[in-house]
Amino acid sequence: MGYYYDFVKKFSTYLFLILLTIIMLFPMFWMFLLALKEFPERFSSFYELLTAKFTLKNYYEAFKSDSFLIYFINSFVVASLVTIGNLFFCFLVAYALERKKYLINKIVFLTVLGIMIIPQHIVMIPLFRLIVNFEWMNTYYALVVPWLVTPFGIFMVKQYIQQIPVEIEDAAKIDGCSDWKVIFKIVLPLSKPIFTVLGIYVFLLNWNSFLFPFIFTNEETMRTLPVGLAFYLGKQSIDWGHLMAGASFSALPVILLFLFFRKQIISGLIQGALKE
């Protein structure tokens, strides 16, 4: 009886996981399927779409497009600069909040936690007015500067630094290290796992960002990839083939980052979540 119960339980678990995997992967399968078909919108049934001739024409035409390459470069530049800024500023702020025991630190940390629960859409109009007043419309400043430091990044790094024994820093100071040397020679190398997690999180978040790049840019030369892909959606029809080919290119960095850094992501999240 016990063996039968264990078998049913294990079988049900694996069946549920398989079904969940299929549900999760089907949108990606559908994206690649449409991208590999010429004029996929002309097919009236799934069987016709599935059995039609495969082609790379949509990928070739999308990549050959000058505007698409500009979108791709803009997304890469913006996501990279914002990621570098977050790694630097979030680390310094998090270290100061965790190690420097001042009364104002608690107030600042509570403010950080409070900002985390405020949706970004609430600051959309005030931020837009600031960007216009600074004359930053259609510039990298508008796409990078407002996101150089994030409350979630500060919170994540602070929780990780909390797990680093302060005795290590005290020993370094006894040996003659200044505060800056302790930060960059001791704490920074020990924080590499959470840096990997934060870097990937911020990069992907800004790589896929649509709303604010859409609001802050109205010139083709400054559009990012998600904004550029939206223009494949016409008023009368949708160019599904090129849209899905572009979406495939957009999803490629996400897939590669996860494949190459999945161990670091999982270990960093686990270590950042544990508390002794």
Residue 9 lies in a domain: no
Residue 103 domain-assigned (yes or no) = yes
CA distances from 87 to 80, 95, 138, 166, 198 (A): 11, 12, 25, 21, 7
Indicate whether 21 belongs to any domain.
no
Residue-wise DSSP of 52-92 = SPP--HHHHHHHH-HHHHHHHHHHHHHHHHHHHHHHHHHHH
Q: Largest alpha-carbon pair distance within the chain? A: 75
Does some domain include residue 102?
yes
User: Residue 89 domain-assigned?
Assistant: yes
The answer to whether residues 264 and 193 touch, using CB atoms and an 8 Å cutoff, is: yes
| Residue-level pLDDT, tens digit, the chain, 276 residues | 567 777 788 888 999 999 999 998 898 888 888 888 888 877 878 888 888 888 888 888 877 776 888 998 999 999 999 999 999 999 999 999 998 888 888 888 888 888 888 888 888 999 999 999 999 999 999 999 999 999 999 998 998 898 888 898 888 888 888 888 998 989 999 888 889 889 988 998 999 899 999 999 988 889 999 998 887 766 556 778 888 888 888 888 888 887 887 776 666 556 555 544
- The model's pTM: 0.81
Domain of 180, in residue numbers: 60-273
Q: Which residue is it, tokens 């508008």?
A: 142
Cα 242 → chain centroid:
24
| Structural domain includes residue 258 | yes
Q: How far apart are CA 42 and CA 240, in angstroms?
A: 10
**Alpha carbon of 106 to those of 59, 155, 179, 194, 273: distances in Å?**
52, 13, 21, 22, 20
Q: Is residue 269 part of a domain?
A: yes
Backbone angles phi and psi of 183, in degrees to 5: -65, -50
65: domain CATH number is: 1.10.3720.10
List all residues 6 or more positions away from 213 whose beta carbon is below 8 Å from its beta carbon. 78, 143, 223, 224, 226, 227
On whether residue 108 sits in a domain, the answer given is yes
In the block, which residue shows the tokens 């914002």? 82
Q: How many domains does the chain have?
A: 1
